[in-house]
């Protein structure tokens, strides 16, 4: 009697290439371990690439500044000039405005004078560090990530500077930065303003009679900061606020920095600097303070014109 086909024993069935649950869990665990090992390295590589881009921005700004200085009797650009008229209207020119055409910009002088609104749609990428993640306080201003160390201009401010007697007029002994910031008001010119420039007439041209820091004053240009990083929620291209920086304490990681950007996510806890000789450096904040100073709220070392601190 032949066996019934319905009772024929079945052979085990195997699917080619199938994984068991345990094998899948092992593979997932290995991937998680590898990801945990690679992500920190990838994060550091990203920060390094952003820092390199930032250094390149500063290098291009240095070339632009050298051309500007050569065209302007060896005088460095101002940090900013702002005229405030009796009507309440203002005109701002900042270091990035003065270097605008040298960095490939196409705005007219009239457009550059009328605050940051013109920079929103055609901003200068050179003026923005890719690591600068500070949220803009305005919706129409183009971000600016760099500033000039501020000159004291004879104003007494012992919290940041040495003393007024050593800071005016610009000279090799100035124990303050290179960034002059001229600001007038509708009630009259500011301190040390040259009245050859009219302060309350919007039809007048850019004020060209104000004192500037001559490149020839710098005894150690390779150790004098011309531009450095200033991450600030209120710094916009063409706006005088944020065009100069008082001290290292206002940089990322400093006690006076309010940008919300953390040092751990910024250039591997370092900062970038453009020196007056055109050289760029990636340094720690402390390395810029000079031989004896450890107070980041004071302008010393690379932050000043003087080579003696």
Domain ranges of the chain: 39-73+116-179+212-303
**Peptide bond connecting 54 to the previous residue in cis, omega within 30 degrees of 0:** no
Instruction: Kindly give the residue spans of alpha helices, DSSP state H, lying in the chain.
Output: 21-71, 95-98, 109-113
Q: Are 143 and 126 in contact (CB under 8 A)?
A: no
Q: Are 152 and 164 in contact (CB under 8 A)?
A: yes
**DSSP three-state, residue 146:** strand
Report the run of H or E that residue 182 belongs to, with start and end: strand 181-183
- What pLDDT shows up at residue 172? 93
- What pLDDT shows up at residue 133? 86
Q: Are 215 and 305 in contact (CB under 8 A)?
A: no
- What pLDDT shows up at residue 179? 95
Q: 163-170: long-range contacts (C-beta < 8 A, 24 or more apart)?
A: 166/306, 168/192, 169/211, 170/211, 170/212, 170/213, 170/214, 170/217, 170/305
- What pLDDT shows up at residue 218? 95
- What pLDDT shows up at residue 148? 97
Q: Are 251 and 245 in contact (CB under 8 A)?
A: yes
3: its two tokens: 């066996």
- What pLDDT shows up at residue 185? 62
Per-residue pLDDT of the chain (309 residues; tens, 9 = 90+): 555 555 555 555 555 566 788 878 888 888 888 877 776 666 677 778 889 999 999 999 999 999 999 999 999 999 998 876 666 667 788 999 999 999 988 887 777 776 555 555 556 889 999 999 887 766 667 889 999 999 988 777 666 776 666 788 899 999 899 999 988 765 556 678 887 776 656 566 677 788 999 999 999 999 999 999 999 888 888 888 899 999 999 998 888 888 888 777 788 889 999 999 999 999 998 899 987 777 888 888 999 999 877
Parallel, antiparallel or unpaired: strands 181-183 and 80-84: parallel
Place of tokens 């401010």: 157
Sequence-distant (6+) residues with CB within 8 A of 116 are 138, 140, 141, 142, 236, 237, 238, 239
Q: Are 183 and 82 in contact (CB under 8 A)?
A: yes
Q: Are 255 and 297 in contact (CB under 8 A)?
A: yes
- Which residues are bridge partners to 236 per DSSP? 143
Report the run of H or E that residue 232 belongs to, with start and end: none
């Amino acid at each position: 009697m032949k066996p019934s086909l319905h009772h024929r024993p079945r052979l085990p069935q195997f699917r080619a290439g199938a994984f068991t649950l345990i094998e899948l869990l092992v593979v997932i665990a290995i991937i998680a371990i590898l990801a945990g090992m690679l992500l920190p390295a990838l994060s550091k590589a990203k920060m390094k690439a952003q820092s390199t881009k930032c250094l390149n921005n500063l290098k291009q700004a240095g070339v632009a500044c050298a051309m500007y200085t050569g065209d302007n009797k060896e005088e460095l650009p101002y940090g900013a000039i702002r005229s405030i008229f009796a009507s309440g209207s203002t005109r701002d020119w900042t270091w990035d405005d003065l270097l605008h055409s040298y960095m490939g910009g196409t705005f007219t002088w009239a457009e550059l004078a009328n605050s940051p609104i013109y920079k929103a749609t055609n901003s200068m990428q050179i003026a923005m560090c890719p690591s600068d993640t500070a949220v803009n306080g305005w919706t129409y201003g183009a971000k600016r990530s760099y500033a000039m160390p501020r000159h004291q201009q004879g104003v007494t401010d012992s919290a940041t500077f040495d003393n007024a007697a050593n800071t005016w007029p610009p000279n090799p002994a100035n124990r303050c930065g290179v960034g002059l910031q001229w600001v007038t008001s509708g009630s009259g010119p500011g301190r040390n303003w040259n009245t050859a420039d009219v302060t309350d007439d919007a039809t007048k041209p850019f004020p060209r009679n104000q004192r500037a820091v001559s490149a020839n004053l710098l005894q150690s240009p390779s150790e004098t900061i011309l531009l450095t990083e200033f991450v600030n929620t209120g710094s916009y291209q063409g706006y005088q606020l944020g065009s100069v920086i008082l001290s290292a304490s206002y940089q990322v990681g400093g006690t006076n920095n309010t940008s919300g950007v953390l040092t751990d996510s910024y250039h591997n806890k370092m900062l970038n600097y453009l020196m007056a000789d055109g050289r760029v450096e990636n340094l720690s904040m402390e390395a810029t303070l000079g031989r004896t100073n450890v107070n980041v709220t004071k302008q010393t070392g690379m932050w000043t014109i003087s080579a003696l601190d």
